[in-house]
Amino acid sequence: MAARKPLNDMQLQLACNAILQGGVIAYPTEAVWGLGCDPWNLQAVTRILELKNRPVEKGMILVAASVEQIRFLLDPLPEALQVEARKHWPGPVTCLLPDVNEQIPAWVRGSHNTIAVRVSEHPVVKALCETAGMPLVSTSCNPAGEEPARDVSEVQRYFGDKLDCIVPGDLGGNPKPSRIIDIVSGKQLR
């Protein structure tokens, strides 16, 4: 499959406008297509949960463009935990961080006292987070029980016109979704 042209400024701005207006977008990530939105917008997160038929208790991942973008989650942690998280980023590793000050809404955190965070090196993910000026919700683009979308035709088959924007781009080439590591216990959960 030939690589597509890089995301252009107009496509990026349209996607970020959708996010900032409470919309839900689909976009390529390291391994599968993701659904994303503003994590502080309850209506947008609720739409993703409804689209996926996913219970809020499970929680969702936040994806960021840089460590600086999620510094507010790292700063309250002991230095050893900060170092442990940073050694996995940027890259396809999601770290469970203690959300000590409950800075992330419960509708993203779910029933957990941790928040799942990934600092991505995927060019589309980075561009979206940088242009939106915030980390985004990142959850696989599929209804519960179905395989995650691996191409645009699957995104459209699953959600069609229920999305505000489908961001063009290629997957990062990883065969599996990000590993999930609890930085307190060191256990790999996925």
Give a yes or no: residue 90 inside a domain: yes
pLDDT at 67: 97
5: Cβ–Cβ under 8 A, 6 or more apart, which residues? none
Give a yes or no: residue 2 inside a domain: no
Please count the structural domains in the chain: 1
For the segment 167-190, what is each residue's pLDDT rounded down to a tens digit?
999 998 887 777 889 998 878 876
For the segment 27-39, what is each residue's pLDDT rounded down to a tens digit?
999 999 999 999 9
67 neighbors 119 (Cβ within 8 angstroms): yes
Domain that holds residue 34: 9-182
CATH number of the domain that 117 lies in? 3.90.870.10
Band (151; pLDDT cuts 50, 70, 90): very high
Rounded Cα–Cα distance for residues 180 and 190 (Å): 5
Exposed/middle/buried for residue 156 (C-beta within 10 Å: 0-12, 13-18, 19+) = middle
Give a yes or no: residue 79 inside a domain: yes
Rounded Cα–Cα distance for residues 59 and 45 (Å): 10
Give a yes or no: residue 187 inside a domain: no
For the segment 45-102, what is each residue's pLDDT rounded down to a tens digit?
999 999 999 999 999 999 999 999 999 999 999 999 999 999 999 999 999 999 887 8
Give a yes or no: residue 158 inside a domain: yes
Give a yes or no: residue 67 inside a domain: yes
Averaged confidence pLDDT in the chain: 92
